[in-house]
Amino acid sequence: MAPTNSIPPPAGVYVPAVLFFDDNEDLDIPSIKAHVLRLAKGGVTGILVQGSNGEAQHLSHDERKEAIRVTRQTLNENGFENVVVIAGTGAQSTRETKKLCADAAEAGAAYCLVLTPSVWPNQMTPDKILKFYRDVADASPIPTMIYNFPTVTAGQNLTSDIIGELAQHPNIVGTKLSCGDVGKLHRLTSTVPATKFATFPGKSDVFLQGLISGSAGVIGALPNIAPKAHVELYRLYKAGKLEEAVKVQALLGQADWEMGRLGSIGGIKAVVSKNFGYGNINVRGPLTPATITAANTQKLEALIAFEKSL
């Protein structure tokens, strides 16, 4: 049964954490725990388990529950009870999405982030999209959020009109805009109260631009590598030090672009395992590990140097 008093997640820096696998492509629990702990110590507000960077579509239901459970347990056992856990619960049917939301709640997630089904994109009319999200929100035992990521949903790009209409639902409390559209973000923040609905850009290269436009922070892949740098930008912005924040944003924007060219998921794992003393480069097929060199990680190295200085 859906809660009746849902509130949005607190503003701040959220990270769709990569999930580490061993050489047999099984969950590498020690590396997953080490990563969760470094992110929490880096000051993130929350961790998204099974965002696109978490290879959600490559996991069984049991593995998805286990990853959420391990994340919540690791945070609790190390004094980070206040770090929020969001679970990606997107699936291709309404029925399975509802099941994943229930599983996420059981495993300790506080919120669900739901992708638009994408096997039949031509049949996903605005009415069907509205019905899908409302049906899921009606059934979810924890508050839900809308995940707009055209790259992984066969090009479907939800409009601000559709998201704004869904924001009126009592159990839909936010959105992650991985489309990177700051105009869309601003239209939402200027029409839906932040106390009811949290709007996050899904990319670090528009983190500051989003804040200026009223966003609740960021949910981005790059904090996997540099959580402290993102928290520092957020602090500078909140302190009114815009000029300093712009300099940090330039670092983030360059590194985010470079990481995308590396292949994001594999690139993140390769950079993390090289620079932070845990993890490995294994991904689940058909993805392949990324190869990093001094030539293709110059901007990331500049960001990591800044991260380690904080």
pLDDT of 3 above 90: no
Q: Dihedral, CA atoms, 167, 57, 53, 145, nearest 10 degrees?
A: 10
Q: How many CA atoms are closer than 13 Å to the CA of 215, on its beta-carbon side?
A: 29
Catalytically annotated residue among 33, 65, 98, 176? 176
pLDDT of 63 above 80: yes
Higher pLDDT, 152 or 160: 160
Told to judge if 133 belongs to the known catalytic residues of this protein, a careful annotator would answer no
CA–CA gap between residue 49 and residue 281 (Å, rounded): 18
pLDDT band at 256 (very low <50, low <70, confident <90, very high): very high
CA–CA gap between residue 206 and residue 213 (Å, rounded): 10
> Is 219 annotated in some ligand binding site?
yes
The arithmetic mean of pLDDT across residues 192-213, rounded, is: 97
Query: Quick one: pLDDT at residue 2?
Result: 80
Told to judge if 14 belongs to the known catalytic residues of this protein, a careful annotator would answer no
Catalytically annotated residue among 111, 147, 234, 237? 147
CATH superfamily of 12-226: Aldolase class I (3.20.20.70)
